[in-house]
C-alpha cells in the first residue's frame, strides 16, 4: 500500500508518517518545509519538497498514484489568518483544491482531510456535535470549512471517496511553540527559557485537548472506515488554560508565574467536541488522559533540551 501525507514533516504529520511506516506502508511526504522540519522525517519515508499550491505537487501525486492521500498541510495560525486572509485562503482553499483535483485525476482511493473545531466558531454549547451549525469566527475556520465543502462536492460529482476529521486542540512532542493551537508547546517553551508565562484573556477559556498519538490512531482507522463522513476527533473533556498551567506546575515541580494579557482577535472562548461518532464509526477511543499526555510531552521536551545542550558543549570542546 502507498500513501502520501501532505505536511508530513510537521507536528501531526510526522507522527502519522511514523505510524504508517510501522504498519509496513510505503509513505511519501509532500512538504515545502516552511514550518515542517527535516529532523521530524522518518528516514524510511520519501520526501518531496514541493508546495501544495504548485503544479509540482500535482505531478508528484499523478506519478505516485497512492492508495490514499492524507491532507494535513495547512496554514493553521488563527491570528495570521485574521491578519492575512488572502494568504490563509490561498493555502487552505486553493492548496486543498490543487491536491484534491490531482487525487481525482490519479484515481486515489481515499482523501483524508485534517479539519478543525474552528469551523464552529463561538457556539455556546456545552459540547458540540457534528450536526451543529458552523459559524467560523476566524478566516482559518472559514477556509477549513470551505475546503470541507469542496471535498464533499468532489464526491458528489466525481465519487472521490473521503473522510473529514475535525480535530480538537492537538498537543504533543514536535509541536512548534506558536499560535493558539500550540498553547501547550508555547507554555513548555517559556518554562525552558524561564520568566513568566503570558496568558491571553483570563485563562478560563476551555479547549478539548487531545494528544497527538490519539489523533494519529484516528487517522489510521480512517484508512478503512468512516467513508464519506465528517467525524470529530476529541476527548469530549473540557480543560481550561489555567488547568493546563496547574498540571504543568505539578509536573515541572516549580511554581509558574502567570501574566494575563488581552484576549486575541478571532479566539474562541470555549470549545469541546463530542467524540461519539468517532467511537462508533472508527472503532476508536482516546487512550491518553490530559495528565499522561502532558507528562510525556514534557519529558520529550526536556530530553530534547538536554540533547541540544550536549551537542552544543561537544561542539565547543571540538572547536
Which residue, 100, 117, 223, 106, is CA-closest to 155?
100
φ, ψ for residue 288 (rounded to 5)? Answer: -105, 130
| Strand pairing report for 239-240 and 206-207 | antiparallel
Q: How many degrees, rounded to 5, is the angle at CA 286 between CA 42 and CA 247?
A: 90
Which residue, 181, 218, 193, is CA-closest to 301?
193
φ, ψ for residue 53 (rounded to 5)? Answer: -85, -5
DSSP 254: S
Residues involved in catalysis: 140
Q: Is there a contact between 287 and 216 (Cβ–Cβ < 8 Å)?
A: no
Which residue, 13, 9, 1, 2, is CA-closest to 216?
13
Angle at which helix 241-252 crosses helix 290-318, to 10 degrees, equals 50
CA dihedral 245, 251, 255, 257 (to 10 degrees): -30
Which residue, 6, 12, 19, 97, is CA-closest to 47?
6
CA dist., res. 197 & res. 248, Å (int): 12
CA dist., res. 147 & res. 178, Å (int): 23
CA distances from residue 307 to 279, 301, 303 in whole angstroms, order as listed: 38, 10, 6
Amino acid at each position: 500500500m502507498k500513501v502520501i501525507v501532505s505536511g508530513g514533516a510537521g507536528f501531526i504529520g510526522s507522527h502519522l508518517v511514523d505510524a504508517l511506516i510501522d504498519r509496513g506502508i510505503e509513505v511519501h511526504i509532500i512538504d515545502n518545509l516552511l514550518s515542517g522540519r527535516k529532523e521530524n522525517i522518518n528516514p524510511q519515508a520519501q520526501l518531496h519538497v514541493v508546495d501544495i499550491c504548485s503544479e509540482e505537487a500535482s505531478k508528484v501525486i499523478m506519478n505516485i498514484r497512492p492508495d490514499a492521500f492524507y491532507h494535513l498541510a495547512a496554514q493553521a495560525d488563527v491570528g495570521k489568518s485574521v491578519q492575512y486572509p488572502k494568504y490563509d485562503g490561498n493555502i487552505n482553499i486553493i492548496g486543498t483544491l490543487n491536491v484534491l483535483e490531482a487525487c481525482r485525476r490519479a484515481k486515489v482511493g481515499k482523501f483524508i482531510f485534517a479539519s478543525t473545531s474552528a469551523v464552529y466558531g463561538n457556539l455556546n454549547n456545552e459540547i458540540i456535535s457534528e450536526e451543529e451549525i458552523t459559524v467560523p469566527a476566524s478566516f482559518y475556520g472559514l477556509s477549513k470549512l470551505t475546503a470541507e465543502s469542496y471535498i464533499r462536492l468532489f464526491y458528489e460529482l466525481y465519487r472521490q471517496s473521503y473522510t473529514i476529521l475535525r480535530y480538537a486542540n492537538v498537543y504533543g512532542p514536535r509541536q512548534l511553540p506558536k499560535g493558539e493551537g500550540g498553547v501547550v508547546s508555547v507554555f513548555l517553551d517559556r518554562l525552558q527559557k524561564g520568566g513568566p508565562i503570558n496568558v491571553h484573556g483570563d485563562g478560563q477559556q476551555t479547549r478539548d485537548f487531545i494528544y497527538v498519538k490519539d489523533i494519529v490512531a484516528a487517522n489510521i482507522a480512517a484508512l478503512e472506515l468512516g467513508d464519506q463522513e465528517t467525524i470529530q476527533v476529541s476527548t469530549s473533556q473540557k480543560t481550561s488554560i489555567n488547568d493546563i498551567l496547574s498540571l504543568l506546575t505539578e509536573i515541572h515541580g516549580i511554581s509558574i508565574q502567570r501574566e494575563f494579557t488581552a484576549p486575541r482577535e478571532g479566539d474562541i472562548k470555549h470549545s469541546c467536541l463530542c467524540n461519539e461518532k468517532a467511537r462508533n464509526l472508527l472503532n476508536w477511543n482516546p487512550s491518553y488522559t490530559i495528565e499522561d499526555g502532558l507528562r510525556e510531552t514534557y519529558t520529550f521536551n526536556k530530553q530534547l533540551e538536554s540533547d541540544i545542550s550536549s551537542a552544543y558543549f561537544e561542539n565547543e570542546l571540538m572547536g
